Structure 1
Amino acid sequence: MDDRWTEQHIPDQHGRVAIVTGANTGLGFETARMLAERGARVVLAVRDVEKGKQAAARITGAVTVQALDLTSLDSIRSAAADLRAEHPRIDLLVNNAGVMHTPRQATADGFELQFGTNHLGHFALTGLLLDLLLPVPGSRVVTVSSTGHRIRAAIHFDDLQWERSYSRVGAYGQAKLANLMFTYELQRRLAPHGSTVALAAHPGTSNTELTRNVPAAVRAPIAWLAPLLTQKPAMGALPTLRAATDPAALGGQYYGPGNRGEARGFPKVVTSSPASYDHAVQRGLWAVSEELTGVSFPVG
């Protein structure tokens, strides 16, 4: 039996509305492209609207562009208001956008950039849109994490914004661990409310622009080895797409590449780190995320 899940396995998406953050390039673009080509109405939620329009022009199907800067709560609230006005229902929210290994920077609201963008921005966006998903049968929230959630990763409640000392790798690990803990806690809260589910995915080692902030001394060897060690964005997007569309996918599942080490391969259900399943930390992260963003969810 061939268990390789490919683009051809994506069910018909006509009638579905999908919002994909960071969809102008890389994994987000491929996710949006495949959803649109299967019939979904796709919103590319991007920081650079001009690049978003250029990406939309390369996609066959019903595609629109929405300005969204995940480093600004004002922008997130504005984007959510626009999306609510345009779409009375949402079938799929893909929290894909992210930054990796950036120098120490702060968002417009003073959050450490990786934690603020990758986790808090998507937390806020999801909370502001969730009531449009709840009445929709089969609706899903899919959040993209990374194998980086295992590397020097913990939720540093005593210094969430890395103000005392900063590690690019540690901050990325915290943010990607937060993506998973958010997904698991969200699924627990969604379970009593109907058919909306939350899932997570990771792309393995994919050759995308995400490595642009890796130090130059490391970037050159990565570029040389990339063809040997990485997979193309279209393959890296498959775990997200399976989580988003496979009728057999269940809330709380985590999808990644199926080969050993989860670096490459066709998507399957994988297991995240033991730390990611800590219910007490999940609840603590949820509470502090609500406090920092000022966004409360319609599920509790």
Structure 2
Amino acid sequence: MKNENLFDVIIVGGSYAGLSAAMSLGRSLRKVLIIDSGKPCNRQTPHSHNFLTQDGKAPAEISEIGKEQVKKYETITFFDGLATEGTKTENGFRIKTESGDEFEAQKLIFATGITDDVPYIKGFNECWGISLIHCPYCHGYEFRNKKTAIIANSDRAFHLASLVKNLTDDLVILTRGKSDFSDEQIEKLSQNNIPVIETEINEMIHENGNITSLVLADGSILYPEAVYGAFHFKQHSDIPGSLGCEFTEHGHLIIDQKQTTTVSGIYACGDNSCMMRSVANAVYTGNFTGAMVNMELANEVF
């Protein structure tokens, strides 16, 4: 292995969490490689919110500012590409990329995020992240007092409804099939005047991603101005699992108080290991993870 391919830390994922972790490490003179394929989950979202000093900026703009700042630290290297394989070595780990390049490091940080397992509904992908949103904290304020629908079922729908109800009184839940609420949940929804529609959705009519109507399977039409979606997800990268990292019942990487996964030397930060999906939280967990990895490296030689 060439010396230029050996690092203290490899960070897989170069969005907010990965960049933040790299900054912590770069400021401690750690030799770091960031491998990133350039496809963040919020790339279609026009504006990011609820991040102090960056409220309302485009996600790509925040990321680009972060990348330019991280580039100033001379011990940090960027590699544009997709990490496809990870193996354990005698002194740490090896990561192989789609292009065939290989790199080694003592420690790994996965800041790879998650991918929503969204339904196939015509028009859905075009609206996702614009007027079809997942988080009331990130985008709910911009759709306050608007006619709103929630696409979800069971506990996911109930949880979202309790939060969105504070933002609008015009709310409906679309379960896309038989609803699965407890008697107590049904009573609560009724008390809050939130109807439940079980009919499947055939199409989302929109203008440049802004929803104008929902066409249901029975021919009826709804006219929400905003739609929330709560769906299952999968890890964006399967490398942590292949290295033996374990997951929670919801599918997040299990981490301890130091952001360490169940495999020694492997850390995780951002959406792949936390239920709170936001830019601000990704930056925080990345910053903390970088500090924890640096401390571990320091303790091993001090």
State if a TM-score over 0.5 links the two structures: no
- Which structure is larger by alpha-carbon Rg, 1 or 2? 2
Q: Where on the TM-score scale, by shorter chain, does this alignment land: which range? A: 0.3 to 0.5
Structure with more helix by fraction? 1
**RCO (CA 8 Å, sep 6+): is it higher in 1 or 2?**
2
Q: Normalising to structure 1: TM-score of the pair?
A: 0.36
